[in-house]
């Protein structure tokens, strides 16, 4: 067996950074969505680090003509049905969903809510499709007065529970989420139950960093399992551990912000000698995409780029860095939901050929298959490796 082509892969998911609508976007109500492209048209972006990796060759970002990229670049289509984080991350790791997780555009059935209320011993509020920040503004006072949790969903397969941390202790909220997961996750196949704690006073409620996601366990082994089975470290940063229900992970670090996420990536690069460092930067989605904040999204992208510029010189000779996304969330459209989009694919490292156009990959799973190939673990059930196109090695 050939030695691994890389010692470490640093895989960073910029949560919701889509790069244009997929051909089936109309079926999801996402015509015209182009998260990065529409932001760039509204807010000229200062992102020299991402441009240097070829992002401005994936789509038109305006400004100066694209320079010579310092890595391989392209975009990936989602083959799975759906447009949520679980679906996207699972497909990156090699699993393709033939049917989407169930959604509840009219709210959850009365029997489901009754079961949940019986288990937690109190009534609940809302049970509707809503923006998380909006529903807290609307019902936060009633929740504080009654102690009844706010239940809401979205275009995604999620059961979300919002509660004020001074009204419902965080550990109790987590227990409620576990009860909800038994009902809608295990029982109905809903993709995630999400704890949405908030604090503050009337008129100024703010969601906190104590969010927690309870996701279904992957239905088959993933890239993470394959690496762990070979005794390779899999370091999960951000909500990665939640999205995979802890499967295939050797170390997990939860973060309160994207800036903290970048701190943890840098720390993992110092302490982890080999294996996969897998990070999700969620503020793009939760703080800006879902809130339709174009300027906030743009500023967060520029802040990430500054951190990226400082990270790149710290890559070791046998490191491969990958930057991608899991879906879109275009803040320039009326919708506050995820959007069905292509995602960027940027790959760099000392051994990666510069200037390679990877084109449009048919599935996110091509990335997982390539990482499996890099580490020499058994092939995944889905995806086509593009390792031979990017690797600058005479023995490949």
**Cα 367 to Cα 223: distance, rounded to the nearest angstrom:** 10
Averaged pLDDT for residues 121-125? 98
Summarised one tens digit per residue, pLDDT across range 13-44 is 999 999 999 999 999 999 999 999 999 999 99
* The dihedral sign for the CA sequence 19, 22, 28, 30: positive
Is 80 exceeded by the pLDDT of residue 255? yes
Summarised one tens digit per residue, pLDDT across range 131-166 is 888 999 999 999 999 999 999 999 889 999 999 999
Is 80 exceeded by the pLDDT of residue 2? no
**Cα 65 to Cα 151: distance, rounded to the nearest angstrom:** 48
CA 169 to chain CA centroid, nearest Å: 27
The domain 8-99+216-390 having CATH identifier 3.40.720.10: the answer here is yes
Averaged pLDDT for residues 193-202? 97
- The share of the chain scoring above pLDDT 90, in percent, equals 93
Averaged pLDDT for residues 223-237? 98
Residues 110-214: name the CATH superfamily. Phosphopentomutase (3.30.70.1250)
Residue-averaged pLDDT of the chain: 95
Averaged pLDDT for residues 4-15? 90
DSSP 234-283: EEEETTHHHHTTTTT-SEEE--SSHHHHHHHHHHHHHH--SEEEEEEE-H
Is 70 exceeded by the pLDDT of residue 96? yes
CB neighbour class for 191 (10 Å; exposed up to 12, middle 13-18, buried from 19):
buried
DSSP 46-113: --HHHHHTTHHHHS---SSPP---SSEEEEE---SS--SHHHHHHHHTT---SSPPP--TT---HHHH
More confident: 174 or 132:
174
Tell me what pLDDT residue 1 has: 43
Is 80 exceeded by the pLDDT of residue 6? no
Q: What backbone phi and psi angles, to 5 degrees, belong to 73? A: -145, 155
- Closest CA relative to residue 198, chosen from 146, 242, 245, 135: 135
Averaged pLDDT for residues 3-21? 91
Structure tokens at 181: 């997961």
Tell me what pLDDT residue 3 has: 57
Q: Distance between the two ends of the chain, CA-based, in angstroms?
A: 12
**Cα 181 to Cα 375: distance, rounded to the nearest angstrom:** 35
Is 90 exceeded by the pLDDT of residue 213? yes
Contact present, 358 and 386 (Cβ < 8 Å): yes
Neighbours of 182 (CB within 10 A): 15
Tell me what pLDDT residue 38 has: 98
**Of the candidate ranges 51-65, 167-181, 310-324, the one whose mean pLDDT is the lowest:** 51-65
Structure tokens at 298: 């743009």
- Closest CA relative to residue 73, chosen from 321, 358, 381: 358
In the chain, which segments carry CATH 3.30.70.1250?
A: 110-214
DSSP 6-31: -SEEEEEEETT---SB-TTGGGGT-T
Tell me what pLDDT residue 393 has: 55
Phi/psi region, residue 231 (left: phi>0; alpha: psi -120 to 50; beta: rest), is left
Neighbours of 293 (CB within 10 A): 14
**Cα 21 to Cα 28: distance, rounded to the nearest angstrom:** 10
Query: How sure is the predictor about 396, in pLDDT bands with cuts at 50, 70 and 90?
Result: very low
Is 90 exceeded by the pLDDT of residue 50? yes
Query: How sure is the predictor about 257, in pLDDT bands with cuts at 50, 70 and 90?
Result: very high
- Closest CA relative to residue 280, chosen from 101, 71, 89, 6: 89
- The share of the chain scoring above pLDDT 70, in percent, equals 97
Query: How sure is the predictor about 358, in pLDDT bands with cuts at 50, 70 and 90?
Result: very high
Residue 121 DSSP label: T
Question: What is the number of alpha carbons within 13 Å of residue 143 lying toward its C-beta?
Answer: 27
In the chain, which segments carry CATH 3.40.720.10?
A: 8-99+216-390
Summarised one tens digit per residue, pLDDT across range 362-392 is 999 999 999 999 999 999 999 999 999 999 6
| Alpha-carbon distance values, 231 to 224, 225, 227, 275, 367 (Å) | 11, 10, 7, 9, 21
């Amino acid at each position: 067996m050939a030695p691994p082509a890389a010692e470490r892969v640093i895989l960073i998911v910029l949560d919701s950074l889509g790069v244009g609508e997929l051909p089936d976007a109309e079926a999801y109500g996402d015509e015209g969505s182009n998260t990065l492209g529409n932001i760039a048209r509204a807010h000229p972006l200062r992102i020299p680090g991402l441009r240097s990796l070829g992002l401005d060759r994936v789509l038109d970002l305006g400004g100066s003509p694209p320079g010579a990229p310092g890595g391989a670049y392209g975009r990936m289509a989602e083959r799975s049905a759906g447009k949520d984080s679980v679906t996207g991350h699972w497909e990156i790791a090699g699993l393709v969903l033939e049917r989407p997780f169930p959604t509840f555009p009219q709210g959850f059935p009365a029997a489901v809510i009754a079961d949940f209320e019986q288990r937690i011993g109190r009534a609940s509020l809302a049970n509707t499709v809503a923006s998380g920040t909006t529903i807290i503004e609307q019902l936060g006072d009633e929740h504080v007065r009654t102690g009844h949790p706010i239940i809401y969903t979205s275009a995604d397969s999620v059961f979300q529970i919002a509660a004020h941390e001074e009204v419902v202790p965080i550990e109790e909220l987590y227990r409620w989420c576990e009860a909800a997961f038994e009902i809608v996750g295990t029982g109905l196949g809903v993709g995630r139950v999400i704890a949405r704690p908030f604090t503050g006073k009337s008129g100024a409620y703010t969601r906190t960093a104590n969010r927690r996601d309870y996701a279904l366990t992957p239905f088959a082994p993933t890239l993470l399992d394959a690496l762990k089975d070979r005794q390779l470290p899999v370091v999960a940063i951000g909500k990665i551990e939640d999205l995979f229900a802890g499967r295939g992970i050797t170390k997990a670090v939860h973060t309160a912000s994207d800036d903290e996420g970048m701190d943890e990536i840098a720390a993992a690069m110092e302490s982890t000698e080999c294996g996969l460092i897998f990070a999700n930067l969620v503020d793009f989605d939760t703080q800006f995409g879902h809130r339709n904040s174009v300027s906030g999204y743009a500023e967060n992208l520029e802040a990430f780029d500054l951190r990226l510029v400082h990270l790149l010189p710290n890559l070791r000779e046998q490191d491969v860095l990958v930057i991608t996304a899991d879906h879109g969330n275009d803040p320039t459209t009326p919708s506050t939901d995820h959007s069905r989009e292509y995602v960027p694919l940027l790959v760099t490292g000392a051994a990666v050929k510069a200037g390679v156009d990877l084109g449009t990959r048919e599935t996110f799973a091509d990335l997982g298959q390539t990482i499996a190939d890099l580490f020499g673990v058994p092939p995944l059930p889905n995806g086509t490796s593009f390792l031979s196109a990017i690797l600058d090695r005479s023995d490949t």
